[in-house]
Structure 1
């Protein structure tokens, strides 16, 4: 077990089926990406796509997140679905149901134009189903960065609901 991995405290909520975890990643359209800027945490919400191996992200070609990732490519990513607040008569009865996947890994920058095209089409296909695949012109590709997250650890937790396959 790596330095960032810990056993899940509430084992009754743990989801260990990797096929279910991959399906959740394959449905996600938004994720939260945490990184470390020197000694400060930094968190952004990004569109995402899953190619079966990597979580794919895209964004502008400059900005704080890219400066951070060039200096330290380690990230923690969170994806959730089926989030529902459960209201009760007292504070003790209030809770939330959810499915969440958390992964740690390393970001790599996709530089090859054909790989960028492929990855952007995965993201668009996942976030905007029905939009046809396209070949992006080099000028358009020069305005975006594409990132691949290679996970070294994934965990999934489901509370109050069963993850959809």
Structure 2
């Protein structure tokens, strides 16, 4: 199965094009925890919002080092032997640090960018300073990124 490592630029492009990913955090005892979430890649950070309390925020407070993953399965490849079965996929993994966004302007910018992404051209009520108190915005800085594709052998390079 030919695998193709993505260039850093391709990995960032894939990250920017997606809207759903999985955030891996660890608690103070090292217990991993994975959260699926919606996000936007904006100004070099992964941004998402969440409730003001919860397991992932507890973990980020205990250990701000995180891993973030986005992927898609393009097709399943069946073979009569288990070791011959495979998936054609694209995936990107990010390692970084998470922080709670406390700056009101950054929080507004992130929430409006996230909303605009999901609005997909439809009008929406922009977030303002009076509205940002109801949720927490988290920014994940990208320290390392990698990606790969498992492609069909006859696919164009």
The interval holding the TM-score normalised by the smaller chain is: 0.7 to 0.9
1:96 counterpart = 2:87: yes
C-alpha RMSD over aligned residues: 2.2
SS at match of 2:110: helix
* TM-score after normalising by structure 1: 0.82
Structure 2, gaps ≥5 residues long: none
Determine the C-alpha separation between the residues in 2 that align with 1:71 and 1:110.
16
Aligned residues: 152
TM superposition outliers: structure 1 runs of 4+ over 6 Å: none
1:55/1:154 CA distance change after superposition, 3 Å: same
Q: How does 1:52-131 map to 2 (within 5 A)?
A: 52-131=43-122
What is the match of residue 44 of structure 1?
A: 35
Deviation at 1:19, TM superposition (A): 2.4
Q: Structure 1: any 5+ residue segments left out of the alignment?
A: 1-9
- Is the contact made by 1:49 and 1:127 (CA closer than 8 Å) also made in structure 2? no
User: Quick one: structure 1 residues 93 and 80, their matched pair in 2 at CA, closer, same or farther if it must change by over 3 Å?
Assistant: same
Q: Which residue of 1 aligns with 2:17?
A: 27
Which residue in 1 is equivalent to 2:136? 145
For the structure 1 residues 139 and 87, does the alpha-carbon distance in structure 2 shift closer, same or farther, using more than 3 Å as the test?
farther
